[in-house]
Amino acid sequence: MRAKIAAIEAGGRAQAGVLPFGDAAIDGCLPGGGLPLGRWHEIGGTGLEVETAAAPAAFTALMAAPLARRGEVVWVLRRDDLWAPGLAGLGFPPERLLQVCARDEAEALSVMEDALATVGVAAVVGEVEACDLTAGRRLQLACEKRGAAGFLIRRRPYGGQARREAGGSAAATRWRIASAPSEPPAGEFGLGAPRFLAELERCRGGRTGAWLLEAAQAYEPAAGSYNPSGEMTDVAHPLRLVADLGDRQLAPAQPAHRTAA
Amino acid sequence: MRAVRRLAAVSLEAARLGLHPGQKATDAFALVPELKTAEAEPQADAAALAALADWCVRFSPAVAIDAPDGLFLDVTGVDHLWGGEAPMLADFRGRLAANGLTFRCAVADTPGAAWALAHFGADGAIAPPGGQAELLAPLPPAALRLETEAWAQIERLGLRQLGQLAAIPRAPFGRRFGRGALTRLDQALGREAEALTFRRPATPWFARLAFAEPISALEDMARVTADVTARLCERLETQGQGARRFELAFHRLDGKALPLSVGLSLPGRDAARIAKLFAPKLETVDPGFGIEVVTLSAEAVEPISGRQARLDKAREATVEEGLGPLVDRLTNRLGEDRVWRAAPVESHVPELAVGRARPLAKPSPARAWDPAAPRPTRLFRRPEPLEAVVALVPDDPPTAFRWRGRLHRVRRAEGPERIGEEWWKGQIEDVAVGHLRDYYRVEDAEGARFWLFRAGLYGDPAAPPKWWLHGLFG
């Protein structure tokens, strides 16, 4: 039945497929059993991260890493502070990354649209403050052209005023990402693998949820080496489920002052 | 020695009164008390000459400046556009006169002969191919572009015409007047080639459209752009070439040339695509009273193989059809410095470790970043200072710090990773222990991960160490 509804919604267009997380708990919430490609996804941060957007960027890079093995990834920035060595450490191939610095919001959105409709581009990440319904719809049409996935990181300029959140959106999913304390293996010093608290706030044709995810392969020598010829090789998704936090509000896991800002 | 003010140039009227360049200003005032003088501005003259050279590109793409007051145009192969050298010269003279310039010009086989005729021969002389010797014969030795002393010496010996000079056997001539005079004579007569420094290297990839009526509407400009592009691209295609850079110039009625250029990441010759790249830039062109000529030149031309469009669509897209055009669209719209690929640079100083490579350039041979070294996803261009840093022991990571007005309690930390400065690149006396950085990766109680460093070492009361935040892991 879900497939039928999806087919009606797609209006006869070919489905671009999905990118499964490889864990039934997450994939079960997403329509089609994975992150839908040929759609765009909205990713936001919490607290100060609304301005710095470090955790959302890291999380997006991890989500887009499997896609980067299929084609180019275009990252549209407003502020040039994305650092490629950090992405390499997360297992994202930096040689597949094309960075574009746009001058303003409208330009960033139009560059995203242009890149999404290009052959050979597997994913487009854009850092913009907000995306209204018209722009969202345009992005959606661009995504459908080639089946590329769009990731829209919502990021407010430094010192900017909070805008009212747009009510509706054409995004397939909306995520809110926060860093979570890492757990190094017992008896080891230092930091463990990076962990993220990922909250799926909205999901078209699916259910919402919240999970604690870990990038288990990050900063390991094997993670950065990838095989350029091995497209579509079946690599495990870089994010591993640590705990299912259910569909409840994240009040206990999230101290009040982080959400207050 | 006192500086003597001399005349640098005189007007026609002044020349008629017997004044000449190089004359002392006091002498000139004695002769003509009502003389008006103005300070010579050699730099402004040079700039005006350069502007005139740019204007002359409408006649030939190969224009060389002959400082301080001359221009050479290589009209080989372009005169047929006017129907011959004489109509071309007439058009040239008409347009220069319309701009209110005083000038003399001549056409000849060699730059030397043309220079001699323009300076000492009949104005507007056209030497027939191979016939410059007769025209040069009655000219004075000064027409050889020699130093004043050199030609004065020749004249003192009674040789007052180039014809007499040409009759002297080469060996005695060379011995008597020096190698330079012989070279100049050979260059004028075409016995020796002369290299001119063209203002821009002459490109054979050049197309030009002139209009019967000046145009100024945006649609017209777009149409002529498409036409001139199609014309040049057709030639490129028949020769199996592609270009990386196209320069379009709109020549206005008032003599200004407005240049536009687009670059391609891969050499190309697809006229429709190139015209489309020009389209958004046309709005910036101010047509003034109208545009009468448009020229297009291709640069960085290299052979490209004509590839057949793919028959099987299922295969993976090639760079030529997907990413190449995208990169071109973006670079031409946003600017070249706004589209890049991060390239590794072999430096252990974090902010120097990433360079910008052209999007479709070959990967740099530098070693890639070590994925095992944890590096932040976001790096601040300049590190942000941290306040209220509590570190229990020197060389220990801090236990708490304040950043952007908020206190962060450190839960876990890793480090230090010591990064020194690149002392081998600067002056040795600039190297200081204060430039040493100890990097720590810390995680606060809420899970946010930071990359911070301490600059300097403890124990130096003059320069206490400072703490900075350099990046965020997320």
CATH number at residue B262: 3.30.1490.100
The verdict on a CB contact (< 8 Å) between A83 and B471 is: yes
Name every chain A residue with its beta carbon within 8 A of the beta carbon of B342: 84, 94, 97, 99
In this predicted structure, the answer to whether residue B341 has a pLDDT above a threshold of 70 is yes
Give B412-450 pLDDT, tens digit per residue. 898 788 888 777 877 777 777 667 888 999 999 888 999
| Position B361 in a domain | no
Bridge partners of residue A152, in order along the sequence: A42, A126
Name every chain A residue with its beta carbon within 8 A of the beta carbon of B449: 179, 182, 191, 194
- pLDDT value at position A233? 45
- pLDDT value at position B353? 86
- pLDDT value at position B165? 85
Give B16-29 pLDDT, tens digit per residue. 888 888 888 888 88
- Residue B120 identity (one-letter amino acid): F
CA nearest to B345 within chain A: A85
| Position B358 in a domain | no
| Position B172 in a domain | yes
Instruction: Specify whether the CB–CB gap between B377 and B473 falls below 8 A.
Output: yes
Domain range summary for chain A, segments of one domain joined by +: 17-158+168-260
Residue B169: Cβ within 10 Å count: 7
The verdict on a CB contact (< 8 Å) between A102 and B338 is: yes
- pLDDT value at position A228? 42
Do B21 and B150 fall within a single domain?
Answer: no
Do B456 and B389 fall within a single domain?
Answer: yes
The verdict on a CB contact (< 8 Å) between A98 and B374 is: no
Six-digit token string for A96: 């597949």
Closest CA to B305 of B360, B230, B237, B362: B237
Closest CA–CA distance from residue A22 to any residue of chain B (Å): 23
Q: What is the DSSP string of B182-199?
A: HHHHHHHHTSS-----BS
Place of tokens 């016995």: B191
Query: Given phi > 0 = left and psi -120 to 50 = alpha, else beta, which region is A45?
Result: beta
Task: Report, as an integer, the average pLDDT of B25-52.
Answer: 87
Task: Report, as an integer, the average pLDDT of A175-184.
Answer: 90
ipTM value, please give it: 0.83
Give B254-294 pLDDT, tens digit per residue. 878 888 888 888 888 888 888 888 888 888 888 888 888 99
Task: Report, as an integer, the average pLDDT of B9-21.
Answer: 85
Q: A255 at the B interface (CB within 8 A)? A: yes
Do B267 and B394 fall within a single domain?
Answer: no
Do B293 and B249 fall within a single domain?
Answer: yes
Partner-chain residue, chosen from A100, A111, A181, that has the shortest CB–CB distance to B443 = A181
Bridge partners of residue B379, in order along the sequence: B471
| Position B196 in a domain | no
Closest CA–CA distance from residue A143 to any residue of chain B (Å): 15
| Angle formed at CA B117 by CA B114 and CA B118, multiple of 5 degrees | 80
In this predicted structure, the answer to whether residue A11 has a pLDDT above a threshold of 80 is no
* Three-state DSSP class for residue A156: coil
| Position B292 in a domain | yes
Closest CA to B297 of B351, B243, B348, B358: B243
Burial of B8 (0-12, 13-18, 19+ CB in 10 A): middle
Q: How far apart are CA B297 and CA A114, in angstroms?
A: 28
| Position B364 in a domain | no
Do B103 and B229 fall within a single domain?
Answer: no
Do B462 and B406 fall within a single domain?
Answer: yes
Within 84-113 of A, beta carbons closer than 8 Å to B belong to 84-91, 94-95, 97-103, 107, 111
Residue B8 lies in domain: 1-40
HSE-up of residue B171 (Cα within 13 Å, Cβ side): 0
Partner-chain residue, chosen from A54, A180, A255, that has the shortest CB–CB distance to B472 = A54
Six-digit token string for B42: 């050699």
Q: How confident is the model at residue A231 (pLDDT cuts 50, 70, 90)?
A: very low
What is the total count of domains within chain B?
Answer: 4
| Position B298 in a domain | yes
Q: How far apart are CA B326 and CA A118, in angstroms?
A: 7
Q: What is the DSSP string of B200-223?
A: S---S-EEEEEEEEEE--HHHHHH
Q: How confident is the model at residue B309 (pLDDT cuts 50, 70, 90)?
A: very low
Six-digit token string for B230: 């199609």
Q: How confident is the model at residue A256 (pLDDT cuts 50, 70, 90)?
A: very low
Do B50 and B183 fall within a single domain?
Answer: yes
In total, chain B counts a number of residues equal to: 474
| Angle formed at CA B340 by CA B338 and CA B345, multiple of 5 degrees | 125
Bridge partners of residue B341, in order along the sequence: B357
CA nearest to B313 within chain A: A119
In this predicted structure, the answer to whether residue A250 has a pLDDT above a threshold of 70 is no
Which of the listed residues B269, B303, B337 is the one where a domain comes to its end?
B303
Q: How far apart are CA A204 and CA A6, in angstroms?
A: 10
- pLDDT value at position A54? 92
Do B220 and B140 fall within a single domain?
Answer: no
Name the pTM for this structure: 0.68
Give A14-56 pLDDT, tens digit per residue. 567 888 888 888 888 888 888 889 899 999 988 888 888 999 9
- pLDDT value at position A221? 61
Do B184 and B58 fall within a single domain?
Answer: yes
Q: In which element (H, E) is residue A24 found?
A: helix A24-27
Give B125-142 pLDDT, tens digit per residue. 888 888 888 888 888 888
Burial of B217 (0-12, 13-18, 19+ CB in 10 A): exposed
Which of the listed residues B129, B163, B189 is the one where a domain comes to its end?
B189
Q: How confident is the model at residue B201 (pLDDT cuts 50, 70, 90)?
A: low
| C-alpha distances out from residue B130 to A112, B127, B191, Å | 63, 8, 11
In this predicted structure, the answer to whether residue A241 has a pLDDT above a threshold of 80 is yes
Q: B349 at the A interface (CB within 8 A)? A: no
The verdict on a CB contact (< 8 Å) between B339 and A98 is: yes
Do B166 and B239 fall within a single domain?
Answer: no
Q: What share of chain B is helix, strand, coil (3-state, %, to 5)?
A: 35, 25, 40
Within 429-458 of B, beta carbons closer than 8 Å to A belong to 441, 443, 445-449
- pLDDT value at position B147? 83
Six-digit token string for B449: 């991960």
- pLDDT value at position A42? 92
| C-alpha distances out from residue B318 to B103, B313, B322, Å | 56, 11, 6
Give chain A's radius of gyration (CA, Å). Answer: 17
Burial of B122 (0-12, 13-18, 19+ CB in 10 A): exposed
Q: A242 at the B interface (CB within 8 A)? A: no
- pLDDT value at position A76? 94
Q: How far apart are CA A10 and CA B470, in angstroms?
A: 45
Q: Which long-range contacts (CB under 8 A, 24 or more apart) does B77-82 make?
A: B81/B208
Q: How far apart are CA A138 and CA A119, in angstroms?
A: 17
Fold classified for A17-158+168-260: Rossmann fold (3.40.50)
Which of the listed residues B128, B160, B189 is the one where a domain comes to its end?
B189
- pLDDT value at position A6? 62
The verdict on a CB contact (< 8 Å) between A99 and B375 is: no
- pLDDT value at position B379? 92
CA nearest to A84 within chain B: B342
Place of tokens 């089609």: A32
| Position B83 in a domain | yes
Q: How far apart are CA B132 and CA B117, in angstroms?
A: 9
- pLDDT value at position A98? 92
Name every chain B residue with its beta carbon within 8 A of the beta carbon of A114: 326, 329-330
Q: B322 at the A interface (CB within 8 A)? A: yes
Quote the longest CA-to-CA distance of chain A.
56
Q: How confident is the model at residue A163 (pLDDT cuts 50, 70, 90)?
A: low
| % of chain B at pLDDT higher than 90 | 8
Closest CA–CA distance from residue B342 to any residue of chain A (Å): 6
* Three-state DSSP class for residue B474: coil
Do B52 and B14 fall within a single domain?
Answer: no
Q: What is the DSSP string of B221-240?
A: HHHHHHHHHHHHHHHHHHTT
Closest CA–CA distance from residue B361 to any residue of chain A (Å): 11
In this predicted structure, the answer to whether residue A58 has a pLDDT above a threshold of 90 is yes
- pLDDT value at position A13? 52
Place of tokens 């979570």: A180
Do B256 and B286 fall within a single domain?
Answer: yes
Kindly list the strands in the beta sheet with A121-128, ordered across the sheet, starting from the edge strand earlier in the chain. Answer: A239-246, A209-215, A195-203, A173-180, A40-44, A149-154, A121-128, A72-77, A97-101, B339-344, B354-357
Instruction: Specify whether the CB–CB gap between A224 and A91 falls below 8 A.
Output: yes
Chain centre distance of CA B48: 18
